Amino acid sequence: MGGVPGVAPANVLVIGAGTVGSNAVKVAVGMGAQVTVMDRLEHKLVHLDEHYSGKIKTIMSNEFNLLDELKKADLVIGAVLVPGGRAPIVIKRDMLKIMKKGACIVDVAIDQGGCLETSRPTTYSDPVFTVDGIIHYCVANIPGAVSVTSTYALTNATIGYVAKIAKLGFKAAIDESASLKRGVNTINGHLTNKAVADSLDLDYTDIDRGL
């Protein structure tokens, strides 16, 4: 990734500047790669640019810029995630033909359907496949590779919500916590997460009516 004297470092393209994308940028920068990150939200790019003091390249996400960056990329991290919904397809199959043969794409969004047209879920026992000369890594549940660390991280993020529900009861807890309320998917047999409902083409009921 970082190259050696006389050999250029790898070009890493991260698509999506959310939590997953930002951590991918952190790892790639730490390994010495040349990193480009794309997102549709300018404030996320501004934050990363300021954090890395210009050591990375930030670009607005659109098809023209994506095609230009895919030509140069050795590694692409697809971190385009929609909370609760299916990930949008951002890399079509015909785009693979402009990439370097042997380049690799990691589809982190595979748990939500994947952000590549050519993606399909893989496992740690058989993690990669090749399409048009491009290596695809589409392991579902990537955090499972570091199960202890990921379990503690998930527990740290959720224990506060569990404690609040245990103390107040479900209805009072979601009335008091807007973030907890946004995470409710079903109530009394009603689907209350619009992104999930839309992705499954099912009826949506808002939380208050579901109660």
| Domain carrying residue 79 | 11-140
Residues 115 and 168 in one domain: no
Co-location of 126 and 152 in the same domain: no
pLDDT digits (tens, 9 = 90+) for 181-190: 888 888 888 8
Q: What is the pLDDT of residue 91?
A: 97
> Phi/psi of residue 159, each to 5°?
-60, -35
Which of 88, 172, 78, 175 is closest to 134 using CA atoms? Answer: 78
Shared domain check, 152 and 83: no
Is there a single domain that holds both residue 125 and residue 47? yes
- Write down the pLDDT at residue 54: 86
> Residue 23: inside a domain, yes or no?
yes
81 forms bridges with which residues in the sheet? none
Q: Average pLDDT for consecutive 10-residue bins of the chain (211 residues)?
A: 93 95 96 96 95 94 96 97 84 96 96 94 95 96 90 94 95 92 88 83 84 76
What pLDDT score does 122 carry?
A: 96
Of 140, 171, 190, the residue that ends a domain is 140
Residues 82 and 178 in one domain: no
Integer Cα distance of 177 and 25 in angstroms: 31
Q: What is the CATH number of the domain that holds 123?
A: 3.40.50.720
Tell me: do 90 and 185 sit in the same domain.
no
Short-list 76, 147, 144, 71, CA closest to 114:
76
Do 97 and 194 lie in one domain? The reply is no
- Give residue 44's pLDDT: 95
Give, as one character, the DSSP assignment of residue 125.
Answer: T
Domain count, the chain: 2
Establish if 178 belongs to a structural domain.
Answer: yes
Distance between CA atoms of residues 63 and 47, nearest Å: 22
> Which H/E stretch holds residue 186?
strand 186-187
Same structural domain, 154 and 127: no
- Is the same domain home to 75 and 130? yes
Q: Which of 140, 167, 195 is at the close of a domain?
A: 140
| Domain assignment of residue 4, yes or no | no
86 and 59 inside one domain: yes
Whether residue 15 is contained in a domain is answered as: yes
Distance CA 9, CA 2 (A): 4
Is 64 within a domain?
A: yes
Do 114 and 193 fall within a single domain? no
Q: Of 123, 129, 119, nearest to 142 (Cα)?
A: 123
State how far the Cα of 108 lies from the Cα of 20, in Å rounded to an integer: 8
The CA distance from 190 to 79, in Å, is 30
- pLDDT at residue number 129: 97
pTM, full prediction: 0.85
DSSP code for 157: H
Residue where a domain stops, chosen among 116, 140, 164: 140
Instruction: Clarify whether residues 65 and 120 are in a common domain.
Output: yes
Closest residue by Cα to residue 74 from 23, 166, 7, 22 = 7
